Amino acid sequence: MSGPGASPPTIAACFRAAREQLVGAGIAEPDTDLRLLMAQVLNTAPGQIILHLRDPIGAENIAAFEALVARRAAREPLSHILGKREFYGRMFEISPAVLDPRPETETLVALALQEPFERLLDLGTGSGCIALTLLAERPRAKACAVDLSEQALDVARRNAAPLGVADRVDFARSDWWQAVDGRFDLIVSNPPYISAEAYQGLAPELAFEPKIALTPGGDGLDAYRQIAAGLSAHLTVGGRVLVEFGAGQGDAVTGIFRAKGLTQSTLHKDFDARDRVLSARAPAA
C-alpha cells in the first residue's frame, strides 16, 4: 500500500500487475484484453486507454479492474465479462445463454449477401447475430429466427431493437423445424457441430458457453441431418441454404445435403483458408 504523500497508482502500473496475471493464466492476447477491461471500468473507448497510461487511477476503479481481470484469468470469455461482442461491424449483447459470435461466422454472412433474398430463416439463432446482421444489410428482407433456448431468444430480441430490425423478424422457440411454417428463399444456420470426443479437449473458455450450442454429441453431425431433412418442405424453388461446419466435416456435411436432393453444393473457406461454410440450393424444378 502506498504511504502518505506517495503518488497514486497509474493505469500503466495496474496493467503491469494484471498482465503478469493473465500471462500466467495462459491468455493469448493479454494486452488487448486489458485495454478492453480497463475501457469497461472507465467507460471510455478502448483506443483511448493507451493515451492515458500515465494517468492516476482511483482505488474504486482499481478494485473494479482487478475483479474483471480475475474473471478473465479464470478463463471466462471476454465477451461474457463485457456483456457484448462485435460482429460484422455491429455490437451484440452476449450472455452465457448464447454462443459467442466468432469472426469465422462472418464468412457465412458475406456469402449470404452475395445474392438477393426476401424471406430468411435462421435455425438456432442464438444471439441473433446472423439473422439480424442480414436484416440490417438488407432493409427489405424479413426473417424468422428460431432457437430451442428461450433464454437465447430473449438475448436475440434485445439485440434486434438497437439495430432497428425488430419489426422485420419473428422469433420462435423451436426444436429445429418444429415451429417453422412456410418457405424461405434463404435458410442459414450455425448449428452445434463439435463431436462428443472433441468437446472434451476444448479451450477452457468454452466451458462458460452453452453446451447445447456447441455439441449435439456423437459424431457432431446430427444437426445437419435434421436440417437437411426439412429443407425440401421449407426452401423455395432454387432457394439457398448456408451452414457453418467444423474442421474436417466438409465432405460429410456435403454428403448429407446431397442425399436430400440439394444441388450446387460448394465448400467455402473462412479468413484462415479453412473450409467453413457449405452453400447449396434447392432444385430449380
Q: What is the pLDDT of residue 178?
A: 97
The three-state secondary structure class of 205 is helix
Angstrom distance (rounded) from CA 212 to CA 131: 19
* Average pLDDT value for residue range 106-130: 98
Chain Cα centroid distance, residue 26: 22
Among residues of the chain, what percentage have pLDDT more than 90?
96
Cβ 14 vs Cβ 65: under 8 Å: yes
Q: What is the pLDDT of residue 284?
A: 82
On the CB side of 14, CA atoms within 13 Å amount to: 30
Q: Hey, which CATH number is domain 97-281, 3.10.105.10, 3.30.1050.10, 3.40.50.360, 3.40.50.150? A: 3.40.50.150
Which residues are bridge partners to 143 per DSSP? 120, 169
Query: With bands split at pLDDT 50, 70 and 90, how would you rate the model's confidence at 209?
Result: very high
Q: What is the pLDDT of residue 6?
A: 60
Q: What is the pLDDT of residue 277?
A: 98
Q: Where are the domains of the chain?
A: 11-74, 97-281
> How many H-runs (helices) and E-runs (strands) does the chain carry?
11, 9
DSSP for 40-87, written as a single string: HHHTS-HHHHGGGTTSB--HHHHHHHHHHHHHHHTT--HHHHHTEEEE
Global pTM value: 0.92
Residue 264 predicted with pLDDT over 50 = yes
Q: What is the pLDDT of residue 4?
A: 54
DSSP for 91-131, written as a single string: EEE--TTSPPP-GGGHHHHHHHTTS--SEEEEES-TTSHHH
Chain Cα centroid distance, residue 215: 15
Q: What is the pLDDT of residue 196?
A: 94
Q: What is the pLDDT of residue 1?
A: 41
Question: pLDDT, tens digit, for every residue of 4-49?
Answer: 556 789 999 999 999 999 999 999 999 999 999 999 999 999 999 9
* Average pLDDT value for residue range 109-119: 98
* Residue 89 Ramachandran class (φ > 0 left, ψ -120 to 50 alpha, else beta): left
C-alpha cell at 220: 457432431
Question: pLDDT, tens digit, for every residue of 79-98?
Answer: 999 999 999 999 999 999 99
Angstrom distance (rounded) from CA 23 to CA 29: 8
Looking at every residue in the chain, the average pLDDT score rounds to 95
